[in-house]
Structure 1
Amino acid sequence: MSSAPISEHETKPALSAHKPHPPLPEPEPPQRSGFRKWIIMLAIVLVVGAAIWKIRKNTEEQTAQGQKMAAMLDRPTPVQTVKVQQKTMPIYLTALGTVTGYNTVTLKSRVDGQLNRVNVREGQRVRQGDLLAEIDPAPYQATLAQAQGQLARDQAQHANDQAQSNRYRALFEAGVVSHEAAQAQEALAGQSAGAILQDQAAIQAAKVNVNYTKITSPINGVVGLRQVDPGNIVHASDTNGLLVVTQLEPIAVIFTLPEDHLPEVLDLIRKGKKLAVEAYDRSGATHLATGSVLTVDNQIDTTTGTVKVKAVFDNKDGALFPNQFVNVRLVLQQRPNAIVIPSAALLSGSQGNYVYLVKPGDPPAELQPAPPAAGQRQGKAGRVASGAGPAQNQPTFYVVAQPVKVDLTEGAQVILSSGVNPGDPIVVDGQEKLRNGSRVIPRQSSNPNGPRAVNPNRAATGVGSDDKGSTQQPQGRSGGQQP
């Protein structure tokens, strides 16, 4: 018997009908879900707590920093002060100059020969007529002796010729000799007389050469370095001299001025005014000497647009030296009763120029810094603030930003037209830490013109001050808190 094959799809339902599905196991109830929730909640609480702690800590640090800054602002600042001066101020031009000897002489030999000796030391001061060097005079003395001998011979010859001329003249008058013979004897006598004059000139020339062997100083001055040592043969045609003598008392300074200032200077000179000139060192801080204008050059240098001016100085102390570079101040006029402050004290702000004026006592309430807000924690900053104030029983001072009006800048000093009064104490050092109403501990500056500044002669304004130890700072410095 054959039977048809049964497919897999037909058998599976049959098997399923005979064997029912077993029941699914029920899920186990969660045992640790509550514990995990507590862990997550605890972590969230910790994170929130850490964030709140960090925020509060930052707030406290900012509060402490603010209180510390407030305490530092209220802490007295040491400053240096000077008093406003009222004095006569010179108005002058500044220039760069070079010191030159009033007279400079290069001594050369006027005759040839061997240099026997140099009678002065290098750097020695000499006076006019002092013997400086000697050249061997023997050849020139011999020439002088020859000229003197020739003179004696020619004198004897002339005496004989003159006697012959007299005899021939007598014979001619007696009619013994001819007129031509008498004239010939007179000519011989004249020739011998001329030979005598020539011999006398030769003697004078020989004496001059002998004198030239002794070289003397033509001026008062100082001997420079020796150019030729004794024993060398020197010639009148040598380009180099033996010695150089420079006159240092008085001494001259040559400087240049812009042609724009020439009319003003010439007008003062034509009126007979003696213009004072002050010489300062290279830095412009040390006063060297005071002199006067000697003359102005007769032409303007077209390449630079300047004119040369020569000033003369006594130089008794030897402060000036030839070829020395100096800063020159040509005083044009004197301004009496000028209100003067150091340029270091002048500051500039949005409202213009001002200075810090020192006043005694505590600053007014409107100038004091705002107190910390209520509820802020003082902590360490509060202790710093409470201990930073001025000591008890000590005088207190504060500063006020005082506006001023500048009239003229004179090197390291400034002439004011208004703003302060003579004798007012002003701050010249330490302004960068100040504000309007800051407490200060004033100390009198040792330099009445404030801290040393830059060279005043390099300022663009071309003016300076009369103080000998001062220099210039730029006008209108900014420092501290602007008013």
Structure 2
Amino acid sequence: MVFLLAVAIIVILIVVHVLTGTKKKPVTPPQVVSTAAARLGDMPEVLDELGTVTPVATVNVLPQLSGYLTQVGYQEGQDVAKGDFLAQIDPRQYQIDKQQAQAQLAKDQASLAQARTDLARYTQLNQQKSIAEQTFADQQFTVKQDEAAVQADRAAIAQFDLDLAYCHITAPIAGRVGLRLVDPGNYVTQSTSPGIVTITQMKPTTVQFTVPQNSLDKVLQRFHGSDKLSVTAFNADNSRQLATGTLYALGNQMATSTGTVSLRANFANDDESLYPNEFVNVRLLVDTLKNAVLVPTPAVLTGAPGDYVYLVNADHSVSVHKVTLGPSDGKDTVIAVGLMAGQSVVTDGMDRLTDGAKIKVAGARPAQGAGAPASSSTAGMPGKGGRRAHGDASTAQSS
């Protein structure tokens, strides 16, 4: 009986201890983050597109008559001026044909002189009524026939002069010749393929690219204004600027398959950094936003709330803050709606943040400039310019 009483007392003590004992709640330490203050600054609005270097003129020089190629007067890769000698076709056959035409001209001129002399005599006899009227009329027709024959002979001689000029092939434009397409000794024919040589104008040159229809309105407004739109060309991996030019022409139709319109920019290309048919990255400066609210691009996240930032509160906590984005240059992003200059946002360490979480600033970084080359031209598109999705924000409320 004593044993059972002792057990009951022990059980009662344990129950009382469990019921009256205090639970210690675990304390979550503040999350160490980096922050930056939103600032006012200028942001260029640019369109990044893929373009192709398109020469102003590319000419495939074709022979205009047939014959053996006797001479080639250029070096492969040589720069030539308009009118420079390129190749020679054997002219002897055309010289002989010209001599025959000259002989025929002399013969027909003699016949014409005789016909005119006879016509003068027949005219006097006709006035005296000494010959038949039909004989006088026939002689007039003979003179006209001989005059036409002389004109035909002169035209034939002019044709052979042109053929002799065609035998001496010259550069139709200034530019750079390519690799030799035919060697001396070959028989070439009129418009034979692949031709004698290809000449490409190196400078100035153009770059052709396309822009989507959604961006066309702003381009048209600036293009038809007084300002010239600046176009910058970068190499294929966007690591080096090649040249700077200006937009000078727009296509007259929208491509229905892609919803884009073609544009062409002119480049002086004095250093020949743009090579014909080269693929380049094109950056078209459409406009510049003045005194826009800028934050570092890593501060902008995309998740269930949409585009948002973690706003730093006065009590060292953060809140999910929805924003409307503007253009980005990759380094900074414009906040069109949702922030004011001077407000601080989290730029690093937000992986485990939630709405209302406490933070500890590792060291607030000053806002960075927007001088880096642009890498994104589309305003307010999720996932651009370094923004990333954050799963913990899916249940957070915007403040």
TM-score normalised by structure 2 residue count: 0.72
Deviation at 1:88, TM superposition (A): 4.0
1:410 matched to 2:366: no
Spell out, residue by residue over 1:110-140, the C-alpha distance to the aligned partner (whole angstroms, 9 max, x if none). Answer: 0001112221112111222222222111111
**1:134 corresponds to:** 88
**1:146 corresponds to:** 100
1:122 matched to 2:76: yes
TM-score normalised by structure 1 residue count: 0.60
Structure 1 residues 237 and 449, CA gap change in structure 2 (3 angstroms): closer
SS of corresponding position for 2:243: strand
Larger helix percent: 1
Partners of 1:123 and 1:222 within 8 A in 2: yes
**Greater mean alpha carbon deviation, residues 287-296 or residues 100-109:** 287-296
Structure 1 residues 301 and 237, CA gap change in structure 2 (3 angstroms): same
**2:262 corresponds to:** 308
**2:386 corresponds to:** 474
**1:353 corresponds to:** 309
Which residue, out of 40, 48, 51, partners 1:97? 51
- Whole-Å Cα distance in 1 between the matches of residues 162 and 311 of structure 2? 76
- Whole-Å Cα distance in 2 between the matches of residues 419 and 198 of structure 1? 88
Opposite residue 309 of structure 2, the aligned amino acid is N
1:106 matched to 2:30: no
Which residue, out of 248, 253, 272, partners 1:294? 248
1:456 matched to 2:368: no
SS of corresponding position for 2:202: strand
Structure 1 residues 188 and 293, CA gap change in structure 2 (3 angstroms): same
- Whole-Å Cα distance in 1 between the matches of residues 128 and 106 of structure 2? 34
- Whole-Å Cα distance in 2 between the matches of residues 242 and 83 of structure 1? 66
Opposite residue 353 of structure 1, the aligned amino acid is V
Opposite residue 126 of structure 1, the aligned amino acid is V
Partners of 2:324 and 2:380 within 8 A in 1: no
**2:361 corresponds to:** 437
- Whole-Å Cα distance in 2 between the matches of residues 439 and 299 of structure 1? 54
SS of corresponding position for 2:203: strand
Aligned residues: 346
Spell out, residue by residue over 1:280-300, the C-alpha distance to the aligned partner (whole angstroms, 9 max, x if none). Answer: 221223222222222222222
Deviation at 1:260, TM superposition (A): 2.2
Deviation at 1:301, TM superposition (A): 1.8
Partners of 2:206 and 2:267 within 8 A in 1: yes
Partners of 1:355 and 1:427 within 8 A in 2: yes
- Whole-Å Cα distance in 2 between the matches of residues 439 and 85 of structure 1? 17
Deviation at 1:265, TM superposition (A): 2.5
**1:379 corresponds to:** none
Instruction: Find the structure with the greater CA-based Rg.
Output: 1
Structure 1 residues 259 and 191, CA gap change in structure 2 (3 angstroms): same
Opposite residue 309 of structure 1, the aligned amino acid is L
Residue pairs, 1:43-442, within 5 angstroms: 88-338=42-292, 343=297, 346=299, 348=301, 352-353=308-309, 407-416=325-334, 436-438=360-362
Opposite residue 252 of structure 1, the aligned amino acid is T
**2:12 corresponds to:** none
Structure 1 residues 129 and 227, CA gap change in structure 2 (3 angstroms): same
Structure 1 residues 158 and 404, CA gap change in structure 2 (3 angstroms): same
Structure 1 residues 282 and 404, CA gap change in structure 2 (3 angstroms): farther
Spell out, residue by residue over 1:163-210, the C-alpha distance to the aligned partner (whole angstroms, 9 max, x if none). Answer: 111011112222322222222222222211111100010011111111
Partners of 1:412 and 1:449 within 8 A in 2: no
- Whole-Å Cα distance in 2 between the matches of residues 415 and 265 of structure 1? 21
- Whole-Å Cα distance in 2 between the matches of residues 429 and 117 of structure 1? 71
Segments of 5+ residues of structure 1 without an aligned counterpart are 1-69, 357-365, 368-399, 464-471, 479-483
Partners of 1:346 and 1:355 within 8 A in 2: no
Spell out, residue by residue over 1:261-288, the C-alpha distance to the aligned partner (whole angstroms, 9 max, x if none). Answer: 2333233333454322221221223222
Structure 1 residues 156 and 462, CA gap change in structure 2 (3 angstroms): farther
- Whole-Å Cα distance in 1 between the matches of residues 72 and 97 of structure 2? 24
Partners of 2:311 and 2:346 within 8 A in 1: yes
Segments of 5+ residues of structure 2 without an aligned counterpart are 1-28, 352-358, 391-399
Structure 1 residues 125 and 237, CA gap change in structure 2 (3 angstroms): closer
Partners of 2:208 and 2:265 within 8 A in 1: yes
Opposite residue 292 of structure 1, the aligned amino acid is T
Partners of 1:133 and 1:215 within 8 A in 2: yes
Partners of 2:325 and 2:379 within 8 A in 1: no
- Whole-Å Cα distance in 2 between the matches of residues 217 and 284 of structure 1? 36
**Greater mean alpha carbon deviation, residues 98-107 or residues 291-300:** 291-300
Deviation at 1:409, TM superposition (A): 3.8
- Whole-Å Cα distance in 1 between the matches of residues 246 and 122 of structure 2? 76
Partners of 1:404 and 1:419 within 8 A in 2: no
SS of corresponding position for 2:247: strand
Partners of 1:280 and 1:288 within 8 A in 2: yes
Spell out, residue by residue over 1:323-367, the C-alpha distance to the aligned partner (whole angstroms, 9 max, x if none). Answer: 111111222112234565664x546599953699xxxxxxxxx99
Partners of 2:325 and 2:334 within 8 A in 1: yes
- Whole-Å Cα distance in 2 between the matches of residues 86 and 132 of structure 1? 61
- Whole-Å Cα distance in 1 between the matches of residues 200 and 88 of structure 2? 20
- Whole-Å Cα distance in 2 between the matches of residues 85 and 125 of structure 1? 53
Opposite residue 474 of structure 1, the aligned amino acid is G
Spell out, residue by residue over 1:436-470, the C-alpha distance to the aligned partner (whole angstroms, 9 max, x if none). Answer: 33369x9xx9x9868x9xx926x76599xxxxxxx
Structure 1 residues 118 and 436, CA gap change in structure 2 (3 angstroms): farther
Structure 1 residues 477 and 212, CA gap change in structure 2 (3 angstroms): same
